[in-house]
Structure 1
Amino acid sequence: MRDLPSKLQGQLSIRRAERARLIETGLVQQGISDPAVLAAINQVPREFFVDPEFKDKAYHNRALPIASGQTISQPYIVALMAEALQLTPHFRLLEIGTGSGYAAAVYAQLVDQVFTIERHDFLVNLSRSRLEELQIENVSVRCGDGSFGWPEAAPFDAISIAAATEDIPKQLLNQLTIGGKLVAPIGDQQSNQSLICFKRTEGGFEKKDLGSVRFVPLISDADEDLPSD
């Protein structure tokens, strides 16, 4: 687990009770049990990643609006995705949908390198500045269409998609190592979405349904289909 700058440790202490309440009632009581994931959520100051008018709600277990019509994910969902990916310190992780950078900051506590892609220039610059302020140095942020992944950095041990899609682009599936896992919300804005964990095997992909979710849509130029069962 990486240490935050000393100037921020005091601010973390101020909101220690809020974070502890979130972790106990919003994560542990909802089934999150991985000690490393719980420690990572506890380490990252979520108030740094929400818009100023929502700082008093930073430790509420809910998604919040951010710039460019996007949202910062509910802490429980970030923890659920991290736990499903079974992250270990040597992993290289690709995230699609950086947003304000919160999930990337959490993943950065758990893996060796995070590569994260965001379509909106404003959010790219915002997330970079926040990660730099927290001195989180193992995250690379790129502006672009996440459906194409990050080919020159592939393969990845884990891929997290923070936007809903009906079909996962083959480029992303192909950038996953054998044995690696990809977590994504599957569905559209008009129907129910399910958070699905895909594990790549020698012969294809195994799937596990993690429950109902609601994400903003993945905007993609790709038109690739998920491999058939």
Structure 2
Amino acid sequence: MNLEQARFNMIEQQIRPWRVNDARVLDILGKVPREEFVPQSWRGMAYADTEVPLNIGPRPSGQVILPPREDARMLQALQIQPHETVLEVGTGSGYGTALVSHCSRLIQSWEIDPELAAFAAANLARTGLDDGLDLHAGDGHEALKATDARWDVIILSGAVVVEPGDFLARLNPGGRLFCFIGEAPVMEARVYTRTAEGIAPLNIFETMAPPLKGFPTVNHFHF
């Protein structure tokens, strides 16, 4: 399989038709070798329009690599700038981390699953995309406990059922937070922006995503 051609086809047949026209985003997607971040058994499907299960150990992780077009829409919506700092919760395979590293000054990324954390670190090192990355194996909430730092962009790479107020409180003025919010069968990919008036949410597409470990998973009323 010609993986470079597959990457080109992904951009032309999946990404552009999904209303992604930001030249910088398209350039980044063309540079990062997605096939280096999927489990070996999925290498031939690395550029397919589908999520890829991240089953790398003896048990299913319950996590996935997003379909390429969703990564693209996320990057386009966040408009990360070269001087900005990013906190990512849910490193996963490291693919999204690699994409974000191309358009930010510094990215700190946390992965609660130790096997996935090791998988991501190995992928990023093997591809030479680990320079300047601050990778951690652990619960992303530890980033909030360890420092009172704020970030320009925060990415929660799994689904949450309630507004992540503790992370929103750590956004710089003008900062943006991306997450998937809701419960099956419908979730929203949402960007929150910190403005002078407060926090402004914007839904950018409907989707389904696995729950982010370490966050509440049920939002039901009890009487």
TM-score by length of 1: 0.86
Which residue number in structure 2 is paired with residue 94 of structure 1?
87
Q: Could you tell me which amino acid in structure 2 is paired with residue 141 of structure 1?
A: L
- The code of the aligned residue for 1:42 comes to G
Match of 1:39 in 2: 27
Calculate the aligned-residue CA RMSD, in Å: 2.0
Per the alignment, in what secondary structure is the counterpart of residue 60 of structure 1?
coil
**Structure 2: unaligned runs, 5 residues or longer:** 56-60
Aligned equivalents of 1:186, 1:147: Cα separation in 2:
17
For 1:60-99, what aligned pairs fall within 5 Å after superposition?
A: 60-67=48-55, 68-99=61-92
Range with greater deviation from structure 2 (191-200 or 147-156): 147-156
Which digits, 9 at most, give the CA deviation of each residue in 1:138-173, with x for residues without a partner?
221112222454453831111111111111332211
More helix by share: 1
* Match of residue 192, structure 1, among 186, 190, 195: 186
1:211 CA drift (Å): 1.5
Q: Which runs of 5+ in 1 are unaligned?
A: 1-10
CA contact (8 A) 1:32 1:83 kept: yes
For residues 7-32 of structure 1, give each alpha carbon's deviation from its aligned partner in whole angstroms, at most 9, with x where no partner exists. Answer: xxxx9xx5221111100111111100
How far the C-alpha of 1:222 sits from its partner, in A, is 6.9
Q: Once the 2 structures are TM-superposed, how far is the Cα of residue 69 of structure 1 from its aligned partner?
A: 2.3
Identity of matched residues, %: 28
Q: CA deviation at 1:221?
A: 5.5
1:209 is displaced (CA, Å) by 1.0
* Structure 1 SS opposite 2:202: strand
Report what 2:204 is aligned to.
210
**Structure 1 pair 31/160, CA: closer, same or farther in 2 (3 Å)?**
same
What is the one-letter code of the residue matched to 2:152? D
State the TM-score, normalizing by the size of structure 2: 0.88
AA aligned opposite 1:58: A
| CA distances 1:36-64 after superposition (whole Å, capped 9, x unpaired) | 11111111100111011110000112111
Aligned residues: 211
